[in-house]
Amino acid sequence: MQKHTKVYMQFFDYGEQDFIPCEMCGSKATDIHHIERRTRNKVTNDFVENLVGLCRDCHIKAESDSMFNMFCRIQHLENVTNQVYALIEYKRRYENRK
């Protein structure tokens, strides 16, 4: 498994056999897209804020349409924010049980 795929799956707590929805249309995601393209030098963009799960059609569109790619970024950051809030809430509830 590629590093960026692992980063994405770990953040959203997906297993290898889980259905991962396309963040744009809801069909099955087949690619983890780098919102900002990877560079040719050693610098990587493999952080969760830059990785979005997309189906093949949405991935092709994101690669060719800069406005759609920006919309992917906005939708993805909303999903990341929701995941962070869910983790905070889970931690708060867990700590209250102690």
The per-residue pLDDT string of the chain (98 residues; one tens digit each, 9 = 90 and over) reads 899 999 999 999 999 999 999 999 999 999 999 999 877 655 678 899 999 999 999 999 999 999 999 999 999 999 999 999 999 998 888 877 76
Are 68 and 43 contacting, i.e. CB atoms less than 8 angstroms apart? no
51 bridge partner residues: 34
Return the sign of the alpha-carbon dihedral for residues 29, 70, 33, 62. Answer: positive
Predicted TM-score (pTM) of this structure: 0.84
SS3 call for 28: strand
Tell me the pairing of strands 51-54 and 31-34: antiparallel
Between CA 96 and CA 98 the distance in angstroms is 5
pLDDT score recorded for residue 37: 82
pLDDT score recorded for residue 98: 63
pLDDT score recorded for residue 1: 84
Q: Which of 90, 54, 57 is nearest to 75 (CA)?
A: 54
pLDDT score recorded for residue 92: 87
pLDDT score recorded for residue 41: 58
